[in-house]
Structure 1
Amino acid sequence: MFLCKKLCNKCLLKINGNCLKGLFCRVLYSRHHSTRRLEEAYKLTKTKCQSKKLPRDVNPKAVFACNELDLKEVKVYGFDYDYTLACYKPSLEHLLYNLGRQTLIEQYKYPAEISKLEYKPNFAVRGLHYDIEKGVLLKLDSFLQIQFGTVYRGLTPLSNEEVLNLYKNRIIPIAYVEGHTKNAQLILQESQSKMVQLADLFSVPEMGLLCNVADYFEKNHIDYHPEILFRDIQSSIKNSHPVMHQIVGQNVHDYIESNDKTRPFFDKLVHAGKKLFLVTNSPYHFVNKVQARKPRFFTDVSRPIRVFDEQSGTHIWDRVTKLEKGVIYYEGTVKQMQELTGWRGHQVLYFGDHPYSDLADVTLEHGWRTGAIITELTHEIATLNDPEFKKNANWLQMLTQLIEDHQDCEDPEEQKILAKWMAERDRLRNDIKYVFNKQFGSVFRTYHNPTYFSRRLFRFADIYTSNLTNLLNYSVNHTFYPRRGVMPHEYISYFV
């Protein structure tokens, strides 16, 4: 075996007492290597990967920082309700799906046969885009690239060739995705872009209904307009919310996860002298607090705050000149709230589950600090912590580097070996994708890039976590520091 004699006494790359440093130098950086050397490089890289200790597990109850956040500066804590304070059970998705399907049949006169289409709870993930022009559901990364293997018409995946025939390119123009307005809200995007992103958890059953009905139309050769189908299903789900609120209100334990840590969390904040408020779209009788009708609460310039009289169940016309504890307010704008309270910028930390309607405007327009509640983190982190996943992820990193270092060879026999490496890399990438979700993979990643959803999350959220009460593990004076990431031009690390 070739030995690096100068370094053999202190080199850490040893197997059976033999130093591998010189061999790596010879194999990895030779410009004219033989097929044997390629095979040796593969074996040695594999051995190195297997000799490394696996990364430590990620704490599923941790709070993760995108931006430095000092809680000592926070005087006021604000909260959304749905999927932030109230964490719903999977049964709610089935309920919304069934109500939406019923509305399609009864109000929009869709075929009665669609009543047999059952909800598929693990089909879609949050953050996908629906192309209202072409009628496909797909996943985009942070560079607006389509992730092959995640483009569906109904329940049928499109091949890579079909995707390229449809879009002529893997990268979709930003105007097609987002429209032409800067920092456009989702409502604006729907009318100006060709795509709609389904970014909240209520949209998951909506996507399930959309794909089921489209699949029914496709298989039965029924002509339909993709945008009309989307609008009808969107309206059906939206119009089902009042009925959903009524059913959930009567059967709370069937639909909402109980969390005995919620009260201690609020008590901790109150005892520390923090102010608390709730902003929600849900009606008073359901939430028993406040109705603000987001996102207009965050975006409208002028819309008076009104008092809701609990005894009469009506809204009072009196002018609101101050906000008082225990009083229920309706509508209004965040600008008015700030004027009435004096709350400003970094003093306010607002938590929500939707990166756009909950978090984008308050951070971009008002300078509030923001926290995202992303319930999918529980499943995602459990997957990341699986030893088999860690092994595959580490080997994928090292195999990719091996391919990159040897890809410029011109010998036909060497190119065959490289083709085998590429095929193995493709299998690994698909294996890593499937363990999160068989159709669309991880909410946070495409094969190697962050998803479009991740990009928006990291831009608009200072911190994010799987459950609000995870903050009980931190003091009210804690500072969250973002991890120093590795830029492409900085040092290389094989391991995540």
Structure 2
Amino acid sequence: MELAKMRILDLQFSVEHDPEMHILLLQLFEQKYALNKNYGSPRRTRDSAFNSIKLLKVTWYELVPSIMSNMLNPDAIFSNNEMSLSDIEIYGFDYDYTLVFYSKHLHTLIFNAARDLLVNEHRYPAEIRKYDYDPNFAIRGLHYDVHRALLMKIDAFHYIQLGTVYRGLSVVPDEEVIAMYDGSHVPLEQMSDFYGKSSQGNTMKQFMDIFSLPEMTLLSCVNEHFLKNNIDYEPVHLYKDVKDSIRDVHIKGIMYRAIEADIEKYICYAEQTRAVLAKLADHGKKMFLITNSPSSFVDKGMKFIVGKDWRDLFDVVIVQADKPNFFNDKRRPFRKVNERGVLLWDKIHKLQKGQIYKQGNLYEFLKLTGWRGSKVLYFGDHIYSDLADLTLKHGWRTGAIIPELRSEIKIMNTESYIQTMTWLQTLTGLLEHMQVHRDSDSQMILEEWKKERKDMREMNRNFFNAQFGSLFRTDENPTYFLRRLSRFADIYMASLSCLLNYELDYTFYPRRTPLQHELPPWSDQLCTGGEVRCLFVVLFHPLMRKDRRETFPCQSEETISYSLEEGKNNLFLICKRRERERMLYSEGKRN
């Protein structure tokens, strides 16, 4: 035991060097050694073994405070670009999923209405009515190959995440995906256009807004029906028909009438939006609304959220704006909408407070208001239609509303997620460092680690969505969705209510994210700057693994001393010994 202590005190730490770390590490080895020495004693019960393991877990968590202690706040605002609210004089908003949030019932309504339109107006088989909306199937940001009828997740570098390609409701084997695309990369000319659409020459459509969730699910359900019943069909026609049906749910007023008829069922979090608008008004901020939704629909919703005098809060209200065309078409003039919803033919020389306007264009808007540049902050949920043109062409500051952010952060704060990610990162470093060993035993263990890494990635994906994983990440890379979010949004948050947590002179500073060449190699991250992580791998796996409920014998004092003395050069040998001891223990149990 004294030898182990001496070796620990000899360890060279870099940035992690501090007295507390030494004390914790000493305690850790005393507990670990006691567990080894007493293991197998007739007096040692299974319960006491588990108590020791729990104690080790607590110590382990204390040694990785950067992971365990700094929990993320799901109600925070996150910054891609430095921005001070003290510079913002004018606040602009989209309506749907920005000022107003809808309950889970809305997507079911859209799915059912579009499905019925397919049957009644496009003559699709009545049997597709057996499919119901599954809110857990799709996530935002997915791409759809229009010609192959495949729904998939693509990363920021145009690579398909294997295991997330779906034909209908069934996953497509990796080998088939690779054969179809000559690998997993999607060339630029096949990707969606600037606004995520499938235009001429583009075979991919990206689903970016929250309303697209029922559309993706309906596409997959109808595909599934055709495939299961061996019905020959043209994927391009199916895509167009589903798109038209979803559009008609909006254009024909089906969705609007349903919400207006039972507004309390569909609209939620009204008091939070009301509080945000009141705060901005109390600080003398100007506010405007630009939405694609119709006048009567917005009026009823805002009366429910704010009250009858809601228009007094806004300096300008524009409905049926036809974004993103609103930001690019210089020809369409504004039209005034009277109290009865009738369009007037007056020429607009001034945008008046309390008045509702229809259509128009941003260039006329800028001319009439003088609201230009970085003193304007506009919020929306659609990264392309709401934010892209404003930040690229007009220099407005932009805020993205990402409701999924709150649930994903809560998952990331769970113990199970943190444990999985910690081991996954460590395992990746082990693979990089140990791949130089070419003997057969080493290669066998490397293959086991690769399989385990693949399994851990699958587990990590399932934390968020069983089919497609996180909205923001593939296995390692940012998603294509996050790439566009980072480019077009200065700040992003789960809802407007997050603004209530900040003073209106607060400055958002983006975190300095290390570039790849600013980080040490995986092996150095594991075994230098404190050999602590290296020792964790050797000494706590599989004890730290929640999915294993048996206690395995640990390394002897000799092994501990050896690992400390030889460091990373002998890590591989120790891990192989761990595998052998585990095997012997398993055989002993069977006997």
Calculate the TM-score normalised by the size of structure 2.
0.75
Q: Aligned pair 1:52/2:102, yes or no?
A: no
Q: How far apart in 2 are the matches of 1:128 and 1:246?
A: 29
The structure showing larger relative contact order (alpha-carbon pairs under 8 Å, at least 6 residues apart) is: 1
| 1:17 CA displacement | 7.7
Letter in 1 for 2:184: R
- CA 1:299–1:163 in 2, change beyond 3 Å: closer, same or farther? same
Is 2:224 the partner of 1:224? no
Unmatched runs of 5 consecutive residues or more in structure 2? 31-58, 300-316, 527-532, 534-591
d(CA) in 1 for partners of 2:185, 2:436: 26
Shift of 1:6: 8.1
Q: Secondary structure at the match of 1:276?
A: strand
1:67-466 → structure 2 map (5 Å cutoff): 67-179=81-193, 184-187=194-197, 189-241=198-250, 242-288=253-299, 290-291=318-319, 292-311=321-340, 313-466=341-494
Change (3 A) 1:408 1:340: same
SS in 2 for 1:210: helix
Is the alpha carbon distance of 1:15 and 1:220 closer, same or farther for their aligned partners in structure 2, counting shifts above 3 Å? farther
Distance 1:18 1:122, change over 3 A: closer
Preserved contact between residue 49 and residue 398 of structure 1 (Cα < 8 Å)? no
Equivalent residue letter for 2:327: F
Code of the residue aligned with 2:284 in structure 1: it is G
Query: Residue 469 in 1 paired to residue 479 in 2?
Result: no
**8 Å CA contact retained: 2:411, 2:417:** yes
Distance of aligned partners of 1:71 and 1:103 in 2 relative to their CA distance in 1, 3 Å threshold: same
Quote the offset at 1:16 in angstroms: 5.5
Deviation of the 1:379 alpha carbon: 1.2
Over 3 Å counting, the alpha-carbon distance change for 1:114 and 1:178 in structure 2 is closer
Q: How many Å separate the matches in 2 of 1:18 and 1:135?
A: 56
- 2:192/2:206 contact within 8 Å kept: no
Check if 1:7 corresponds to 2:10. yes
Q: Which amino acid aligns with 1:305?
A: F
TM-fit CA distance, 1:48? 6.9
Match of 1:260, SS? Answer: helix
- Whole-angstrom CA distance in 2 between matches of 1:331 and 1:223: 42
- Contact 2:8–2:26 (8 Å) recurs in 1: no
Q: Kindly name which structure, 1 or 2, has the bigger radius of gyration based on alpha carbons.
A: 2
Give 1:39's aligned residue.
Answer: none
In proportion to residue count, which structure has more helix?
2
CA distance in 2: counterparts of 1:356 and 1:9, whole angstroms: 50
**Structure 1 partner of 2:305:** none
- Percent of aligned pairs with the same amino acid: 45
Structure 2: how far apart are the matches of 1:377 and 1:163?
Answer: 30
CA–CA distance in structure 2, aligned partners of residues 471 and 318 of structure 1: 38
1:206 CA drift (Å): 0.5
Give 2:216's aligned amino acid.
M
* 3-state SS of 2:296 partner: helix
Deviation, 1:223, is 0.7
Helix, strand or coil: the match of 1:314? coil
Structure 1 counterpart SS, 2:409 = helix
- Which amino acid counterpart does residue 185 of structure 1 have in structure 2? Y
Cα drift, residue 476 of structure 1: 1.0
Structure 1 stretch displaced more, 334-343 or 5-14: 5-14
- How far 1:302 sits from its partner (Å)? 1.8
Shift of 1:49: 8.0
The 1:356–1:336 alpha-carbon spacing in structure 2 relative to 1, beyond 3 Å, is: same
Query: 1 CA distance for matches of 2:161 and 2:256?
Result: 36
- Given that 1:129 and 1:140 are in contact with CA atoms closer than 8 Å, whether structure 2 keeps it comes out as yes
Query: Is contact 2:100–2:270 with CA below 8 Å preserved after alignment?
Result: no
With over 3 angstroms needed to count, the CA separation of the structure-2 counterparts of 1:49 and 1:406, relative to structure 1, is: farther
- 2:271 partner SS: coil
Q: Quick check: 411-420 or 260-269, which moved more?
A: 260-269
On the 8 A contact 1:8/1:18 being kept in 2, the answer is: no
Asked whether the 8 Å contact 1:55–1:390 carries over to 2, the reply is no
Q: Residue type matched to 1:52 in 2?
A: V
- CA deviation map 1:175-221 (0-9, x unaligned): 11135xxxx2335x433310000011100000110000000000000
- Report the count of equivalent residues: 463
What does residue 41 of structure 1 align with?
none
Shift, 1:328, TM fit:
0.7
CA distance in 2, matches of 1:96, 1:411: 59
Deviates more, 1:424-433 or 1:282-291: 282-291
Q: Is the 8 A contact 2:138 2:468 kept in 1?
A: yes
- In 2, Cα distance between equivalents of 1:132 and 1:159: 19
SS in structure 1 of the partner of residue 516 of structure 2: coil
> For 1:107, what is the secondary structure of its paired residue?
helix
Answer whether contact 1:359 1:460 (CA < 8 A) is retained. yes
* Aligned-residue CA RMSD (Å): 2.1
Shift of 1:95: 0.1
The alpha carbon displacement at 1:141 in A equals 0.5
SS of 1:123's equivalent? coil
1:70-103 residue CA offsets vs partner (Å, 9 max, x unmatched): 1111111000011111111110000000000010
Q: CA deviation digits over 1:399-449, x for unaligned, max 9? A: 111111111221121111111111111111110101100000000110111
Contact 2:134 2:217 in 1 (8 A): yes
